[in-house]
């Protein structure tokens, strides 16, 4: 009995030693950098935020003296802060607009645009909707254009054979890059003209849009594809016909461009003054190193490896 107790004690000691050694090895592999410190302020797109938040979490683990704050005020809201020099990095689900670039220039804000992933916009209906399996770009425009407000209110007005039921519309908030991208791709409004009808349920919070469509059999909505992936048990995807047949927004279809016109790149914008700081340089390089892995985990589509290398070279040239 005494011999058995000694063996058990010896075994436990060996296991403790193995765990201790493993912990040391993992800590060594983590390569923490205590030398850099500071705070990095980021704001913007709710679509890009999940990637940025994942990168920030991993970065803070290796740079414990750096705090990374990620806000979500929409692409437009992020650019308002960015072009005034209030934040170091803007998350964006569209490219910067001419007027936003002009504001940055007025405020002597220089920046670099870096692509971090691909996304597709998902057009969705309720799980019980069995008729709207696909829509053409023209039908989407008919539903969402400014002239539709108060006039196109029922599914039967969209396509013959659709039920004579009221359409409840849900979409991204008007200050979001998702809204801008959708309206530009589908409606293509004239400069200065309204971008879409205004009588729809708008929100910057994609979860509210998900719950809205999930709660109404005859609802229709749009938001980033990643949010559909998280909620595919509640909603149905609508295939989009851009003129070459109905196409669903799969990873392959977004990557090869066949899911047109609702696939898009996602960006971060980095302020040149902020990019002089070691913590920002380290963070952006870390972001580009981890973007493929973490964007995929968040439900987005990574760029090709060579594209990330191009973005790193672009950033390197920018900070010289």
d(CA 144, CA 275) in angstroms, rounded, equals 40
- List the structure tokens of 118: 């691909």
Question: Is the pLDDT reported for residue 280 higher than 80?
Answer: yes
Give percent of the chain above pLDDT 90: 72
CATH class of the domain defined by 120-262? alpha beta
Question: Is the pLDDT reported for residue 136 higher than 70?
Answer: yes
Are 114 and 122 contacting, i.e. CB atoms less than 8 angstroms apart?
A: no
Question: Is the pLDDT reported for residue 22 higher than 80?
Answer: no
Q: How confident is the model at residue 257 (pLDDT cuts 50, 70, 90)?
A: confident
CA-derived radius of gyration, the chain = 24
Average pLDDT over residues 62-91: 96
pLDDT of residue 29: 40
pLDDT of residue 6: 40
| Helices 177-186, 74-82: crossing angle, 10 deg rounding | 120
d(CA 183, CA 171) in angstroms, rounded, equals 11
The string of pLDDT tens digits covering residues 102-130 is 999 999 999 999 999 998 899 999 999 99
Question: Is the pLDDT reported for residue 9 higher than 90?
Answer: no
pLDDT of residue 43: 97
Question: What is the average pLDDT score of the chain?
Answer: 89
Whole-structure pTM over 0.75, yes or no?
Answer: no
CATH pick for 38-117+264-319 out of 3.30.479.30, 3.40.640.10, 3.40.190.10, 3.30.980.20: 3.40.190.10
φ and ψ of 280, to 5 deg: -75, -40
Please tell me the least confidently modeled range out of 109-118, 220-229, 274-283: 220-229
Question: Is the pLDDT reported for residue 169 higher than 90?
Answer: yes
Average pLDDT over residues 138-163: 97
Q: How confident is the model at residue 204 (pLDDT cuts 50, 70, 90)?
A: confident
CA distances from 259 to 143, 222, 231 (A): 20, 15, 20
Question: Is the pLDDT reported for residue 8 higher than 70?
Answer: no
State in Å, rounded, how far the first CA of the chain is from the last one: 71
d(CA 77, CA 177) in angstroms, rounded, equals 10
pLDDT of residue 7: 40
The string of pLDDT tens digits covering residues 38-59 is 999 999 998 899 999 999 999 9
- List the structure tokens of 309: 């290398």
Q: Where are the domains of the chain?
A: 38-117+264-319, 120-262
Equal CATH topology for 38-117+264-319 and 120-262: yes
Question: Is the pLDDT reported for residue 319 higher than 80?
Answer: yes
pLDDT of residue 11: 44
């Amino acid at each position: 009995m005494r011999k058995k107790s000694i063996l058990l004690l010896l075994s436990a000691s060996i296991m403790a030693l193995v765990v201790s050694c493993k912990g040391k090895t993992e800590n060594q592999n983590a390569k923490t950098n205590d030398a850099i410190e500071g705070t990095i302020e980021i704001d913007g797109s709710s679509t890009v935020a999940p990637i940025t938040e994942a990168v920030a979490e991993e970065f803070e683990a290796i740079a414990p003296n750096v705090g990374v704050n990620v806000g979500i005020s929409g692409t437009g809201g992020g650019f308002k802060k960015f072009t005034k020099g209030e934040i170091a990095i803007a998350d964006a689900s569209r490219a910067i607009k001419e007027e936003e670039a002009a504001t940055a220039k007025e405020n002597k804000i220089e920046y670099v645009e870096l692509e971090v992933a691909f996304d597709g916009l998902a057009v969705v209906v309720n799980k019980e909707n069995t008729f709207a399996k696909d829509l053409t770009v023209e039908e989407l425009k008919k539903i969402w254009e400014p002239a539709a407000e108060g006039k196109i209110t029922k599914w039967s007005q969209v396509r013959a054979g659709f039920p004579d039921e009221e359409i409840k519309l849900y979409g991204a908030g008007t200050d979001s890059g998702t809204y801008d991208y959708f309206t530009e791709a589908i409606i293509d409004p004239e400069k200065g003209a309204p971008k879409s009808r205004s009588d729809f349920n708008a929100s910057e919070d994609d979860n509210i849009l998900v719950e809205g469509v999930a709660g109404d059999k005859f609802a229709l909505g749009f938001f980033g594809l990643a949010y559909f992936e998280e909620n595919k048990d509640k909603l149905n995807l609508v295939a989009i016909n851009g003129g070459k047949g109905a196409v669903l927004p799969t990873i392959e279809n977004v990557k090869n461009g066949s899911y047109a016109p609702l696939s898009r790149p996602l960006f971060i914008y980095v302020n040149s003054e902020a990019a002089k700081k070691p913590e920002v340089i380290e963070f952006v390089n870390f972001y580009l190193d981890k973007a493929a892995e973490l964007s995929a985990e968040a439900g987005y589509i990574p760029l090709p490896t060579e594209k990330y290398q191009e973005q790193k070279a672009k950033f390197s040239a920018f900070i010289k």
